A and B are shown apart, each in its own frame.
Chain A
Amino acid sequence: EPEVTQTPSHQVTQMGQEVILRCVPISNHLYFYWYRQILGQKVEFLVSFYNNEISEKSEIFDDQFSVERPDGSNFTLKIRSTKLEDSAMYFCASTRALGGNTIYFGEGSWLTVV
């Protein structure tokens, strides 16, 4: 079964460093998302992306965050200058179309900022 894949599975970074989390959505999907989950807390929406532009973003997704689809397969989340509070599991997700289609999630990338 096709799946969303994410790399790295775990990254430890120094505060202030830039981090890029990578995702390969399911190949025929058109809508892409990033979510995050701070340890022990709920899964929070960050951003949605369609047609090569951001569709919607949450308050969490400030100027330190950016997303990009650099080619036909990858979808990346960049955190420009990481803070301690950015430590979380980041999930990439995708769906083929709107209107009641399943949104599939990857296994996540654990980011630890020290």
Chain B
Amino acid sequence: SQQGEEDPQALSIQEGENATMNCSYKTSINNLQWYRQNSGRGLVHLILIRSNEREKHSGRLRVTLDTSKKSSSLLITASRAADTASYFCATDANRYSSASKIIFGSGTRLSIRP
């Protein structure tokens, strides 16, 4: 399976601190995406990193990808209460399918304490 698995499953930090979430996967990928989900809501796309990229930034988000270790990390700097959500990585490894699907990991539940 190419499923990503996030680590830790749950993370609670103080507002203003940095939050780091990790994702590991099993097979070679074309790209990896990170999504956020507020409780009971939809999946909001955060960032996509391609297999030939090592790092990407978007605002307070920094994503790294290490294909040799089959892992990715999402760093949220200067966390805010509004960052409280579940974060999922999703991998795309399809090379021959006519409609690449992405497969989600089990997610990290991030709680920001005021």
Contacts and interface: CB of A to CB of B under 8 A. Distances in A.
Interface of A: 31-33, 35, 41-45, 48-51, 55-56, 89, 91, 93, 98-108, 110
B101 A45 contact: yes
Contacts of A55: 97-99
Given A102-B45, A107-B41, A48 B30 contact: no
B33 A51 contact: no
B42 A108 contact: yes
A105 B35 contact: yes
Contacts, number: 67
Contacts of A51: 98
Contact of A31 (B40, B41, B42, B99): B99
22 contacts: A31-B99, A32-B99, A33-B99, A33-B101, A42-B88, A42-B105, A43-B88, A43-B104, A45-B102, A48-B101, A50-B98, A50-B99, A51-B98, A56-B97, A91-B42, A93-B43, A99-B30, A100-B50, A103-B33, A103-B102, A104-B45, A107-B41
